[in-house]
Each structure stands twice: as structure tokens, then as C-alpha cells.
């Protein structure tokens, strides 16, 4: 199933990345199977920013690993420019790596402490045999400039930088191959509050400058609303709701999306999160509940939810909802947000 992106020129062209019925299962230590990702489908158009949200354990990190080719899917397809990664030859995979890069959450873990910044940024170029030493050096300096670091940064080690600066180095490295696609896994959540906006603005700027397509994983819904054009809400390995960010955030149709949105703490002393929207915690991916996986926590659950897994239904243009009752559920009244 292909999702059409509203009101953009790229809607007509084929998506850059298309995920079809993707499933990933792990064998757990001591027996049992972890169903990390189950039958997930979505697509990302060129120049779009697709956000994956959900609680820890919902499978969003596994999904990014699959997309980056760090894990092999159990079944399903990951089509990049129409070619399936799961069955790609190692040569085709190497070509894909030139196009798809990543920035991870923890800028302390994502830079090798024993390499100088120049080598960290040039490493992808070396891995693909692009350019000689001089041109690689030139690219390093160019990238440092793009991410707003001085040229002198090239000869320093990662520990000489603050968290925000390290994340700039990580972005420069991801950019050095001038890729078409970038995975951003919680790119700002490990940073100080006062530098988060710098990094977020930088990511927005380079997206415009280099025509990048983003897949961003985040737990901060305000950030997702701000930054993404489409969003997928995951719960226990499955996609609960999927669609253009604007319609999902203004008219959430899945009870889980509604609960998530209602729970976000807001910097407004007069806002009170409605208590008791949902109780309990996310279940185990080793023994997901039958039927709709969300039913044990869902305040609206009826008999059919306990037995039959819901299928995705398009309830608004581009907005797919996996809920039997989506049409009948009235979202809880959101307290309005007064301007500060």
C-alpha cells in the first residue's frame, strides 16, 4: 500500500524509500521469539521528513537498523529507488550506503574517541574510495563550514568538544558523501536544552541545501510536529497510525495516538494532562496480546479488539489507522493552549 503525500509536487513520482510488510523477529536469550517489527508498511517521498514515534520497545529502533542495513529483515521488502535491500548483493549494498547515512542519539558513542575529527568526517569518503587525500581534506573543511564549526576543529579529538559540537561533527560526517537519505535517531535528545534548537535548525538547513530525505525517530512529539511532514505511530512493533503530520496531530484517530498526544507535558502551567487516558505500560514484544496489541491499555476496547488484529484503514486522505473503532471514538477534549 502506497501512501500518497498531499499537496507536494513529488507526490506523483515514486517514493525514495518504500517499506512493504516488513517483519523482524529475534530469538531471545533463553528461548522465545521477540517480535520487534511486525508487518509494517510505509513510504517516504523525496525531500520528505518521515517521523517514527512511539514508546521504548515499540520497534522504532529496530526499524531504523533494518533500513540502514544493519539488520536483515525476517520478511518483507525495503525498496530504495525501487530496489530491494533485503536481497541486494554486497556490491549493491555498498552503493546504497553511499546514498544513506545516519546520525545517532549519543554524540559520545557515535564518534570513535581515537580518531581525529578530520578522519572521522573523511572516513565515508575513504570507504568508497572517493577522491585523494587533498580533495578529502577539502571536503572535510567544507563540511565543517556547513555545520558551523571552525576549520581548526579538523585536527582535534572528539573529547575536546561539547555534546552539541560533537553532534555537529556527526552531522558533517553523515553529510560528507552528500547522501540522498539520512536516518536521524533521536538526534537532539542527548543534548543540552539550549543547544537543541541549534542542531534542529542546522538539520533543517542542510535538508534544504542538499535536498535530503529524512527518517527521524523521536519520542518528543512537539519536535515531531515541528520537524516532520509525515508521521508513523508505532506500538509493540506494529504501525498504529500513519499519515501526514498535520492531520495526525490535529485529528488523531487511534486511541494510542490520542493518549500519547494528551500525555505530552507542555510548558504551560495551565495545561493539565488528562489523568487516566491510558493505564499500564507497553507489553512484551515476546508475548504480544492477541487481537489489537493495544487493547489491554485501551479505554475503548470491545470484544472484537481482543480477538481480531485490526487492519489499516484510510480514514482521511493519506491517514491510515489500525483500529476497529476509529470512527466512533471521540478524542478526549484537549485543553487549549493559550499563547504564552
Partner 1 sequence: MVDMDVSYAEISSSPSQRMMRSLFGRGIPYWSLLIFGLVVIAAIGGENIAPHDPNGLDLGSAFKPPSWLEGGSIDYLLGTDNLGRDIFSRMIAGARVTLTVAVYAIVISGGIGALIGMIAGYFGKIVDTFIMRLVDIQMSIPSLALALVIATVLSPSLTTVIVVISITYWTWYARIIRGEILSLKERDYVALAKVAGCSTTTIFVRHLLPNILNTLLVLASLQVGQVIIFEASLSFLGLGIQSPDVSWGLMLADARNYIGNAWWAITLPGVAIMLTCLSANLIGDWLRDTLDPKRRQL
Partner 2 sequence: MTDAAIIPAPMQKPPLLKVENLKTYLYLKRGVVRAVDGVDLEVAEGETLGIVGESGSGKTMTSLSMLRLLPKPSGRIVEGSITLDGTDLVKLSEDEMVRDWRGRRISMVSQDPLTSLNPVFSIGDQVGAPFRYHKLAQGRGAVRKAVEAVLARVRIPSPAKRIDDYPHQFSGGMRQRVVTAMAIACSPRLLIADEPTSALDVTIQVQMMELFRELQRDSGVGIIMITHDLGVAAGICHRVAVMYAGRVVESGDVREIFRNPAHPYTRGLLNSIPHLGRKRRRLEAIAGQPPSLIDPPRGCRFAARCPQKMARCDDYPPQFEVATGHKAACWLAEPRS
Cβ-based nearer residue to partner 2, 222 or 301: 222
Per CB under 8 A, contacts with partner 2 among 164-193 are 164-165, 192-193
C-alpha–C-alpha distance, residues 281 and 263, integer Å: 13
Residue 93 Cβ, how far from partner 1 at the closest point, in Å?
9
Cβ-based nearer residue to partner 2, 193 or 330: 193
The window from 63-71, 141-149, 274-282, 328-336 that contacts partner 1 (CB under 8 A) reads 63-71
Candidate residues 45, 54, 59, 69; the one interacting with partner 1 per rule CB under 8 A = 69
Contact of residue 114 among partner 1, partner 2, none (CB under 5-8 Å per partner type): partner 1
Asked if 1 touches partner 2 (CB under 8 A), the answer is no
Asked if 51 touches partner 2 (CB under 8 A), the answer is no
Candidate residues 15, 47, 73, 124; the one interacting with partner 1 per rule CB under 8 A = 124
Residue 6 Cβ, how far from partner 2 at the closest point, in Å?
16
CA 185, 191, 195, 197 torsion-angle sign: positive
277-301 exposure pattern, b = at least 16 Cβ within 10 A, e = fewer: bbeeebbebeebbebbbbbbbbebb
End-to-end distance of the chain based on CA atoms, in angstroms?
42
> In the β-sheet with 83-84, what is the strand arrangement from edge to edge?
33-44, 17-27, 75-80, 83-84
Count Cβ atoms below 10 Å from residue 179 Cβ, excluding itself. 19
**Residue 330 burial by CB count (10 A; 0-12/13-18/19+): exposed, middle or buried?**
exposed
The kind and range of the H/E element at 316 are strand 313-316
Contact of residue 253 among partner 1, partner 2, none (CB under 5-8 Å per partner type): none
Which of the 8 DSSP states describes residue 286?
Answer: T
> Residues near 102 by Cβ (< 8 Å), separated by ≥ 6?
64, 68, 174, 182, 183, 184, 185
What track of x and - describes contact with partner 2 for positions 231 through 260 (by CB under 8 A)? ------------------x---------xx
Asked if 86 touches partner 2 (CB under 8 A), the answer is no
Candidate residues 92, 263, 286, 300; the one interacting with partner 2 per rule CB under 8 A = 263
Contact of residue 225 among partner 2, partner 1, none (CB under 5-8 Å per partner type): partner 2
Candidate residues 13, 33, 94, 337; the one interacting with partner 1 per rule CB under 8 A = 94
What is the size of the binding site for partner 1 (CB under 8 A)? 30
Residue 187 Cβ, how far from partner 2 at the closest point, in Å?
13
- Which string of DSSP letters, residue by residue, matches 20-84? EEEEEEEEPTTS-EEEEEEEEEEEE-TT-EEEEE--TTSSHHHHHHHHTTSS--SEEEEEETTEE
C-alpha–C-alpha distance, residues 97 and 156, integer Å: 27
Cell of 159: 573529547
Candidate residues 98, 137, 219, 313; the one interacting with partner 1 per rule CB under 8 A = 98
The answer to whether 100 and 128 have CB atoms below 8 angstroms apart is no
Candidate residues 20, 25, 128, 178; the one interacting with partner 1 per rule CB under 8 A = 128
Q: Which of 164, 163, 144, 162 is nearest to 153 (CA)?
A: 144
Q: Give contact residues for partner 1 (rule: CB under 8 A).
A: 65, 68-70, 94, 97-98, 100-102, 104-106, 109-115, 123-124, 127-128, 157, 159-160, 170, 173, 177
Q: Give contact residues for partner 2 (rule: CB under 8 A).
A: 55-56, 162, 164-165, 192-198, 200-201, 204, 219-223, 225-227, 249, 259-261, 263-275, 277-279, 281-282, 337, 339-340
Amino acid at each position: 500500500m502506497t501512501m500518497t503525500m498531499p499537496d507536494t509536487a513529488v507526490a506523483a513520482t515514486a517514493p525514495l524509500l518504500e517499506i512493504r510488510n516488513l517483519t523482524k523477529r529475534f530469538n531471545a536469550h533463553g528461548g522465545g521469539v521477540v517480535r520487534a517489527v511486525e508487518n509494517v508498511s510505509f513510504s517516504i517521498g523525496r525531500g520528505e521528513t518521515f517521523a517514527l514515534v512511539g514508546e521504548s520497545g515499540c520497534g522504532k529502533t529496530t526499524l531504523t537498523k533494518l533500513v540502514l542495513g544493519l539488520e536483515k529483515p525476517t520478511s518483507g521488502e525495503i525498496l530504495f529507488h525501487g530496489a530491494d535491500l533485503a536481497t541486494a548483493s554486497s556490491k549493491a549494498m555498498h552503493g546504497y550506503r553511499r546514498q544513506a547515512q545516519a546520525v545517532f542519539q549519543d554524540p559520545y558513542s557515535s564518534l570513535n574517541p581515537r580518531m581525529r575529527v578530520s578522519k572521522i568526517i573523511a572516513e565515508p569518503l575513504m570507504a568508497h574510495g572517493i577522491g585523494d587525500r587533498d580533495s578529502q581534506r577539502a571536503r572535510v573543511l567544507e563540511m565543517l563550514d556547513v555545520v558551523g564549526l571552525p576549520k581548526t576543529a579538523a585536527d582535534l579529538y572528539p573529547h575536546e568538544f561539547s555534546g552539541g559540537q560533537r553532534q555537529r561533527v556527526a552531522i558533517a560526517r553523515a553529510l560528507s558523501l552528500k547522501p540522498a537519505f539520512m536516518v536521524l535517531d533521536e538526534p537532539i535528545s542527548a543534548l543540552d536544552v539550549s543547544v537543541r534548537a541549534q542542531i534542529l535548525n542546522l538539520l533543517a538547513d542542510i535538508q534544504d541545501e542538499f535536498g535530503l530525505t529524512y527518517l527521524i525517530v523521536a519520542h518528543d512529539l512537539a519536535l515531531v510536529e515541528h520537524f516532520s511532514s509525515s508521521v508513523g505511530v508505532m506500538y509493540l512493533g506494529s504501525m498504529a497510525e500513519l499519515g501526514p503530520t498535520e492531520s495526525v496531530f490535529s485529528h488523531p484517530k487511534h486511541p494510542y495516538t490520542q493518549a500519547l498526544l494528551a500525555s505530552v507535558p507542555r510548558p504551560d502551567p495551565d495545561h493539565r494532562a488528562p489523568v487516566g487516558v491510558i493505564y499500564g505500560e507497553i507489553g512484551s514484544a515476546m508475548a504480544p496480546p492477541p487481537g489489537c496489541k493495544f487493547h489491554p491499555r485501551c479505554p475503548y476496547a470491545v470484544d472484537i479488539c481482543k480477538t481480531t488484529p485490526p487492519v489499516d484503514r484510510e480514514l482521511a486522505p493519506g491517514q491510515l489507522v489500525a483500529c476497529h473503532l476509529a470512527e466512533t471514538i471521540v478524542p478526549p477534549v484537549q485543553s487549549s493552549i493559550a499563547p504564552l
